[in-house]
Structure 1
Amino acid sequence: MREFLKNYYNESIQIQVAASETLADVLTDAADLLVSSLLAGQRVFSCGDGQSLFVANHFADLLLQGAELERPPFPAVALGGSPSQISELESIARQVQAIGSQGDILVAFISERQSERVHQAMEAALSREMTIIAITGTESGDATGLLGPADIEIQIPAANPARITEQQLFISHLLCSLIEQQIFQGGAH
C-alpha cells in the first residue's frame, strides 16, 4: 500500500515538474489573452468533459469571486447541461450559439480522448468567431484539429484523465492569479 501511495504522488509530482518546464510560455499567452479580452469587456465561457466538468465550473467561479484578491467580478459563465435539453450532447453548443459573441473566449477543459459535447461547443464557438483556450492532455483527440491560429492549446504532459484533471485545477488557479496580478496589481511577466 505504501509503495502504491508513493508511486501515486511521484507520478503527479513528475507531471507538475514537466508542466512547469514546458508550459510557461503558453500559460503566459493564455493569461495575456484572457486579460486583454476581459479589459475589452468580453466574456469568458468555460466547459469541460467528464472529470473536467467540475474544473470548468470552478474556473468560472474563480473569475466571478476572485482567486487571491477581493475584486469586482469578471464576466464568466460555466456552461453545462440542462434537463430540458433534447440532446445532452448539444446542450453546451446551444448555449454558446445563444449567448457567445465575437471576441468572447471559450475555455475548454478536456481530460478524455473523445469529448463530443466539448467538441460541439468548440465548433459553435468557432462559428461565433470566439477564441478558444483548450486545456488538454497529450491525447487530446480531435480537439487540437479544431483550433485555429489565434487559439491556444495548453497541453498537459499526461495521458491519464485523473492526472490531467489535477493539473487543470492547478492551471485554473494559476490563470486566475495571473489575471488578477496583471489587472489589479500591474504585474509584469
Structure 2
Amino acid sequence: MPEHLIQKHFVEAADLLYPASEQLPKGVAAAAEALVAALTSGGKVLIAGVGSTALLARHLAGLLVGGFERERPELAAVALSEDPSFTVAATTANAAGTERLARQVRALGLAPDVLVILAMSGNEPMLLRALEVAHERELSVVAITGQGGGALARGLRETDVWLGVPHERSARVFEAQTLLLHALCDELDLQLLGEPENP
C-alpha cells in the first residue's frame, strides 16, 4: 500500500477526533452518571454489541470489572453474548437470531440496571430488540453509535443517553468508540473516586 494511503488513515482519524472532542464530552459525562447511578443503587451494567462492537462490549466489561487506570473495587458488569449456543433452546433459528440479546436482557436486567448498546449503524435488528426489552424492563440505556444512530437513536427515551460518533466509516467509528469507552471509564472513576492523587 502506498504511504500516502496509509497516512490517510491517520489524517482521517485526527479529522474525526478533534471535532468529536468538542461534541461528545457532555454525553460521556451523562453516560458515566447513568452508570454510577445504577452501580451505586445496587444495579449492574449490561453491555450489548454485535460483530465488531461485541468485542468492544467485552472490552468495556473487562474495564469495569478489572479497572481502567486506577485501583478500585470491581464493578458489576456483564457483556451479553451473541453466541447462538447461548440461546440454543429458542424454538426457531430466526427467533434465536433476533432475540438472542433480548432474551439475556430479559433474564438478567432489572431496574436500576443500565444497558450499554454499542452499534455501528444503529439499525442492527438484534440491538433494536434488546433496546425494546430494556425499556420494557425499565432499564436506563446508553447507546454509542455511528453518526445518525439509525433506528436505535430514534428509539431512545429522553432519560437515555446517546453518543453518536460523527463519521460513517466503520473503521473510524470503531476507533472513536474505543476512545469513548476509555473516556467513559476515566469519568466514571472520577465520579466514584474523585480526582487522582497523582494525575
**TM-score, L = length of structure 2:** 0.89
Tell me if structure 1 keeps the 8 A contact 2:32–2:188: yes
Distance 1:128 1:19 in 2: 32
Match in the other structure for 2:69: 68
**Number of residues of Structure 1 aligned to a counterpart in Structure 2:** 187
Distance 1:4 1:114 in 2: 30
Distance 2:188 2:123 in 1: 30
String of CA shifts for 1:35-72, please: whole Å, max 9, x gaps: 22211111111011222110011001100000011221
Tell me if structure 2 keeps the 8 A contact 1:30–1:133: yes
SS of the aligned residue for 1:135 comes to strand
Paired residue for 2:186, among 158, 177, 182? 177
Tell me if structure 1 keeps the 8 A contact 2:34–2:140: no
SS of the aligned residue for 1:69 comes to coil
Distance 1:51 1:65 in 2: 21
Matches within 5 A, 1:104-119: 104-119=113-128
String of CA shifts for 1:23-42, please: whole Å, max 9, x gaps: 12111111122122211111
Distance 1:134 1:120 in 2: 13
String of CA shifts for 1:105-143, please: whole Å, max 9, x gaps: 000001135211111111110000001100011132210
- Residue 89, structure 1, aligned to residue 90, structure 2: no
83-92 or 114-123, which deviates more: 83-92
User: Which runs of 5 or more structure 2 residues have no equivalent in the other structure?
Assistant: 91-95
SS of the aligned residue for 2:59 comes to helix
- Name the CA shift for 1:182/1:84 in 2 (closer, same or farther; >3 Å): closer
Paired residue for 2:134, among 125, 131, 138? 125
- Name the CA shift for 1:23/1:73 in 2 (closer, same or farther; >3 Å): same
**TM-score, L = length of structure 1:** 0.94
- Name the CA shift for 1:18/1:60 in 2 (closer, same or farther; >3 Å): same
Q: Percent identity?
A: 32
59-68 or 83-92, which deviates more: 83-92
Distance 1:39 1:84 in 2: 29
Tell me if structure 2 keeps the 8 A contact 1:50–1:111: no
Match in the other structure for 1:140: 149
| Alpha-carbon distance, 1:88 to partner | 2.5
Tell me if structure 2 keeps the 8 A contact 1:51–1:162: no
Distance 2:150 2:37 in 1: 29
* Alignment root-mean-square deviation, CA: 1.4
SS of the aligned residue for 1:143 comes to helix
- Name the CA shift for 1:176/1:152 in 2 (closer, same or farther; >3 Å): same
String of CA shifts for 1:77-97, please: whole Å, max 9, x gaps: 100124152312211100000
User: Which runs of 5 or more structure 1 residues have no equivalent in the other structure?
Assistant: none
Distance 1:161 1:114 in 2: 14
Distance 1:172 1:17 in 2: 17
